[in-house]
């Protein structure tokens, strides 16, 4: 384990529940003074002979000097190491943010006790070896998850999904390194030891392929974590704002029968099958002399440039127009889903014709007025956003950006080992590349991560976690 002198000398305290009005909140205290703080501040209603660890007691918090009752609470003292931080912990369930803040203000006047920094409880859990860095990151991710799917991904990671995969690969690398070391120690038999197809096959099966599989899962993870941005584009009056409202299931944007209703872009968030989607309604695009409308159109074009996916909306009643094709050309190079709207006004839609006109892009017929076809459209957006692959098999953790960079570094180093074996390079050189790969993996789990990186990771936490 890493050596961090003194970090656990101070006892830290914070409100662990979110601020704002609510019934109950929790103060968490961690460190050597936790038991003394419990005894000093908490008076159980029925004082037991001996306080039992991990048992919740009912009683009062009293002011340490005046002995005035500050709140009626439930309190628990938990002896190390079976706690979140692996240190002694006291938790107090009290009423409302104001009272909790007053109690906390008194607790931090206790000797060798101070306010916790953001993420400090989790940092201690990591430094004390209870969780690895991927699990610490998962805590922050879980708190900030935008969709249920995002939360599930974080829980997988918290439960050691990623951690387990990385350790498997590490173990395989360590075993291969042991073989290299034998080759270094016995130079006469070096060729025999290293020149076996078995070694290369092991490197491929146990290291390279699992690394590639993890990297493949990163893409789906990125989509769940960061979401995708989808811009609604089309001629005026085709029903773009109606579509936005229909997807949101609320009357968010103004809809009128007049072309040129939407002047500015409107952005909202929604959840499509677990993918966080930022959806952007734009001004209908046409030739115009009006200054405001022109600005709106320019904005629409700019938003289209930034979007991951374009929903090109057409008026199904009016049929395909020149301008629709011009907009499609404008969106060249983008993922496009073609949306034929107002199908309540037509008896049948010739999808094949549209598919041909839009070079095989997905075409979905809908009515933004009565909601027909909206499910199909959501499905098409999901397919387009995830590249038709779906997201993840359940239970599979996905590397984040930091992990991905390290995995790629490890992969390059491992590929060099493979090439080195083929080229019959000396085992000393192979061992250096192997070591590189190992330290990349060490960075992911937090074994070799520098303090600067740790500071950055934990600073992103909210207070009390
Ligand atoms: N029958 C029918 N009418 C629709 C449908 N969708 C929209 N409309 C009508 O079409 C007109 C224009 O709708 P909007 O949603 O404002 O169209 P828009 O594309 O946002 O228009 P601009 O903001 O002006 O570019 C309104 O009168 C809507 O009620 C539909 O599916 N069926
Ligand atoms: Mg509009």
**Could you tell me the distance, in angstroms and rounded to a whole number, from the CA of residue 233 to the centre of ligand 1?**
13
pLDDT of residue 198: 85
- Residue 6, pLDDT > 70, answer no
Distance CA 105, CA 103 (A): 5
Pairing of strands 266-272, 275-281: antiparallel
Average pLDDT over residues 142-152: 86
* pLDDT band with cut points at 50, 70 and 90 for residue 395: low
451 pocket-lining for ligand 1 (C-beta < 6 Å): no
* pLDDT band with cut points at 50, 70 and 90 for residue 62: very high
Preceding omega of 347 cis (within 30 degrees of 0): no
Tens of pLDDT, residue by residue over 332-348, are 999 999 999 999 999 98
CATH hierarchy code of domain 155-223+400-446: 1.20.120.430
* pLDDT band with cut points at 50, 70 and 90 for residue 388: low
239 pocket-lining for ligand 1 (C-beta < 6 Å): yes
342 pocket-lining for ligand 1 (C-beta < 6 Å): yes
- Residue 124, pLDDT > 90, answer yes
Q: Where are the alpha helices (DSSP H) in 203-258?
A: 209-226, 240-248
Q: Whose CA is nearest to atom 7 of ligand 1?
A: 239
CA angle 103, 128, 163 (to 5 degrees): 115
Tokens of 39: 């005894």
* pLDDT band with cut points at 50, 70 and 90 for residue 393: low
Architecture per CATH, domain 11-130, reads as 2-Layer Sandwich (3.30)
- Residue 113, pLDDT > 70, answer yes
Domain extents in the chain: 11-130, 155-223+400-446, 227-385
Average pLDDT over residues 122-136: 93
- Residue 3, pLDDT > 70, answer no
**Could you tell me the distance, in angstroms and rounded to a whole number, from the CA of residue 291 to the centre of ligand 1?**
22
* pLDDT band with cut points at 50, 70 and 90 for residue 78: very high
pLDDT of residue 194: 77
Rounded CA Rg of the chain: 30
**Could you tell me the distance, in angstroms and rounded to a whole number, from the CA of residue 378 to the centre of ligand 2?**
20
Token look-up 């203000």 returns 105
Distance CA 7, CA 333 (A): 53
Nearest-atom index, ligand 1, CA of 345? 1
**Could you tell me the distance, in angstroms and rounded to a whole number, from the CA of residue 383 to the centre of ligand 2?**
25
Tens of pLDDT, residue by residue over 229-270, are 999 999 999 999 999 999 999 999 999 999 999 999 999 999
**Could you tell me the distance, in angstroms and rounded to a whole number, from the CA of residue 256 to the centre of ligand 1?**
7
Domains 11-130 and 155-223+400-446 share a fold: no
**Could you tell me the distance, in angstroms and rounded to a whole number, from the CA of residue 146 to the centre of ligand 2?**
27
Distance CA 351, CA 356 (A): 9
- Look at the domain 227-385 and name its fold: Rossmann fold (3.40.50)
Nearest-atom index, ligand 1, CA of 244? 15
Sequence-ordered strand ranges (E) for 99-203: 113-115
**Could you tell me the distance, in angstroms and rounded to a whole number, from the CA of residue 278 to the centre of ligand 1?**
21
* pLDDT band with cut points at 50, 70 and 90 for residue 2: very low
- Residue 394, pLDDT > 60, answer no
- Residue 453, pLDDT > 50, answer yes
- Residue 203, pLDDT > 70, answer yes
- Which of 405, 420, 403 has its CA nearest to residue 162? 403
27 by DSSP, 3-state: which? strand
Phi-psi region of 230 (alpha: psi -120 to 50; beta: other; left: phi over 0): beta
Nearest-atom index, ligand 1, CA of 245? 15
How does the average pLDDT of the chain come out, rounded?
91
Distance CA 207, CA 440 (A): 13
374 pocket-lining for ligand 1 (C-beta < 6 Å): no
Tens of pLDDT, residue by residue over 173-195, are 999 999 888 888 888 887 777 77
8 pocket-lining for ligand 1 (C-beta < 6 Å): no
282 pocket-lining for ligand 1 (C-beta < 6 Å): no
Burial class (CB in 10 A: 0-12, 13-18, 19+), 297: buried
Tens of pLDDT, residue by residue over 12-59, are 999 998 877 778 999 999 999 999 999 999 999 999 999 999 999 999
- Residue 4, pLDDT > 60, answer no
> Between these two residues, 103 and 20, which has the higher pLDDT value?
103
Longest dimension (CA), the chain: 87
259 pocket-lining for ligand 1 (C-beta < 6 Å): yes
pLDDT of residue 188: 82
Nearest-atom index, ligand 1, CA of 370? 31
Q: Whose CA is nearest to atom 21 of ligand 1?
A: 237
- Which of 101, 148, 110, 99 has its CA nearest to residue 30? 110
pLDDT of residue 222: 84
Burial class (CB in 10 A: 0-12, 13-18, 19+), 280: buried
């Amino acid at each position: 384990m890493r050596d961090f002198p003194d970090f656990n000398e101070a006892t830290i305290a914070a409100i662990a529940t979110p601020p704002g009005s609510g019934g109950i909140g929790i103060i968490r205290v961690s460190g050597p003074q936790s038991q003394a703080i419990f005894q000093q501040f908490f008076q159980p209603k029925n004082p037991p002979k001996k306080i039992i660890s991990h048992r919740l007691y009912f009683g009062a918090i009293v002011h340490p000097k005046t002995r005035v009752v500050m709140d009626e609470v439930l309190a628990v003292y938990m002896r190390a190491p079976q706690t979140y931080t692996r240190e002694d912990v006291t938790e107090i369930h009290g009423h409302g943010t104001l009272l909790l803040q007053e109690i906390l203000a008194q607790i931090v006047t206790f000797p060798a006790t101070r306010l916790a920094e953001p993420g400090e409880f989790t940092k201690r859990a990591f430094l004390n070896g209870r969780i690895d860095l991927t699990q610490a990151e998962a805590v922050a991710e879980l708190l900030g998850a935008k969709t249920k799917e995002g939360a599930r991904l974080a829980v997988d990671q918290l439960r050691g999904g990623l951690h387990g995969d990385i350790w498997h690969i590490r173990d395989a690398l360590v075993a291969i390194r042991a073989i290299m070391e034998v080759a270094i120690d016995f130079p006469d038999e070096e060729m025999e030891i290293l020149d076996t197809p078995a070694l290369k096959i092991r490197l491929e099966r146990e290291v390279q392929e699992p690394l590639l599989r993890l990297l493949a899962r990163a893409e789906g993870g990125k989509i769940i974590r960061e979401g995708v941005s989808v811009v609604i584009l089309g001629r005026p009056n085709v029903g773009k704002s109606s579509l936005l409202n229909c997807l949101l299931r609320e009357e968010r944007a103004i809809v009128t029968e007049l072309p040129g209703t939407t002047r500015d872009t409107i952005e909202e968030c929604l959840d499509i099958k677990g993918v966080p989607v930022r959806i952007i309604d734009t001004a209908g695009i046409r030739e115009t002399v009006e200054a405001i409308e022109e600005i709106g159109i320019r904005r629409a074009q700019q938003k289209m440039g930034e979007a991951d996916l374009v929903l090109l909306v057409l008026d199904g009643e009016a049929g395909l127009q020149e301008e629709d094709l011009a907009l499609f050309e404008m969106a060249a190079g983008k993922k496009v889903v073609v949306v034929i709207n107002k199908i309540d006004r037509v008896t049948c839609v010739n999808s094949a014709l549209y598919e041909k006109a839009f070079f095989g892009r997905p075409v979905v017929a809908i009515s933004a007025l009565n909601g027909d076809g909206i499910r199909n459209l959501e499905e098409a957006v999901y397919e387009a956003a995830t590249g038709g692959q779906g997201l993840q098999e359940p239970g599979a953790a996905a590397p984040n950006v930091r992990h991905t960079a390290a995995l790629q570094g490890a992969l390059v180093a491992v590929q060099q080992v493979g090439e080195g074996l083929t080229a019959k390079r000396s085992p000393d050189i192979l061992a250096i590349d192997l070591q590189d790969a190992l330290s990349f993996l060490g960075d992911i789990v937090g074994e070799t991560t520098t303090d600067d990186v740790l500071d950055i990771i934990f600073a992103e936490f909210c207070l009390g976690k």
